[in-house]
Chain A
Amino acid sequence: MRRGIVYFVTGLALISFIFTGCARRKEPGEKKVVAKVKRGAQLTPARQATPATPAERPTPSDKPITEERVLFSFERNLDGWEIPDWALEKDDHVAKDIEISKDVADEGSSSLKVTCDFPGQRWTAALIELEQYLDFTPYREIAMDVYIPEDTPLGLRGRIILTVGENWKFTEMTRAIPLVPGEWVTIKASIEPGSYDWKRTVPDESFREDVRKIVVRIESNRKPVYKGPVYIDNIRICK
């Protein structure tokens, strides 16, 4: 008897589910969503992750550099390079003096000597700059050579910063290049439209045609402690 009642109730429940359905009731006018997406089919623009297409970002040339023009060789004088007054007033900027020196040279017989005093324990930098209106068109790269003496501890890095355009935009290289004690290290960056070498900046054609300052910054990020010279030579543009 009990078993009959159980079968009867179960049967009623099944009949009820079959007729009403398990899912929610379909609203009037609602169409069935087809979840199946054909492999290789394109999503609508609204659903794309919007990556930049190659056409939107110009691509720097991969042709070899064949021509260089030296802007500053530091053979006779400083050519206007200086430690800016604002840097002399800041305690995290540690360039003390700048002069022409015959101690070492990458080309010719002299170079620019920056006397620094990195205290360590925190980020400090030695910064020198030249303020001059420059048009680097059609050159593709800016480069310079930096030397630290053999007894310098490891850890110093260098980067180029350009101030560009009407707004004097401070544009630094995306990465600082490690300096090697006892060796000339070349620091270079592409100035072509589309270059990836500049932090938070994608250069366009106007970038290289209105350069207002060239800055070189030597950095110590907590390490090393170093008191002594850093030499810079052969600041050039290349194409």
Chain B
Amino acid sequence: MKRIFALTAIVVIAVLTMTGSAFSADKVLFSFEKDAEGWEIPDWAYEQADNYVGEEIMVTKDVAKEGESSLKLLTNFPGGRWYGAIVEVMEYFDWTPFSEISCDIYLPEDAPRGLKAKLVLTVGEGWKWTEMSRSIKLEQGKWITISANLKPGSEDWKRTKPTDEFRADVRKIAIRIESNKAAYKGPVYIDNIVLSE
């Protein structure tokens, strides 16, 4: 009797563990454990050097939110006015079952206050540039999660009310680090780009 009970308990625990991982609500899109996975600083950003100040990207083991490595973006914000540093990946995605996209961003301890970040999606046949309606403040020495709701009617996108077609046809993901005033030369780390149901 005891054996049957023990066996049943083991089976139940095993099933629960398996279903937990098999039916996880999150899907990691990019973890940067091996390489940059197609992420780059776009050519147009290099050409707009008076506004865009990303210099180089690489995978690094300096810091990581999950796993051992992350994407390192070297920036050079001169300060005094608005500048951005942008990285993007071009790929056709269908995110229909998912309700949220998020990523984690780390700023070194010696960075100044005032840097912010937002996600930008390029969607649909018209390759519509769709940026988040607000930028999220980054904090020195901390991983900050940037997330945006993908569901129809979401308020998280600037001048865009998403429909089901919105999340069914995403063509680029971009992450833009912004400074309105602060000067900063150094790295910004990106990790763990995830879709959640």
Contacts and interface: CB of A to CB of B under 8 A. Distances in A.
A80 B136 contact: yes
A85 B113 contact: yes
A35 to B, nearest CB: 61
B77 to A, nearest CB: 14
B137 A130 contact: no
Contacts of A141: none
Interface string B96-133: 00000000000000000110000000000000000001
A97 to B, nearest CB: 14
Interface in A120-178: 130-135
Contact of A134 (B114, B133, B137): B133
Interface residues of A, number: 9
A75 interface: no
B133 A133 contact: yes
Q: Is the interface of A mostly helix, strand, loop or mixed?
A: strand
Contacts of B137: 80, 82
Interface string B155-173: 1001100000000000000
A132 B134 contact: yes
Interface in B167-197: 181
B135 interface: yes
Contact of A132 (B114, B133, B181): B133
Q: Which 10 A-B pairs have the closest CB atoms?
A: A132-B134, A133-B133, A133-B158, A132-B133, A80-B134, A85-B114, A131-B134, A85-B113, A82-B137, A133-B159
Interface of A: 80, 82, 85, 130-135
19 contacts: A80-B134, A80-B136, A80-B137, A82-B137, A85-B113, A85-B114, A85-B181, A130-B134, A131-B134, A131-B135, A132-B133, A132-B134, A133-B133, A133-B134, A133-B158, A133-B159, A134-B133, A134-B155, A135-B159
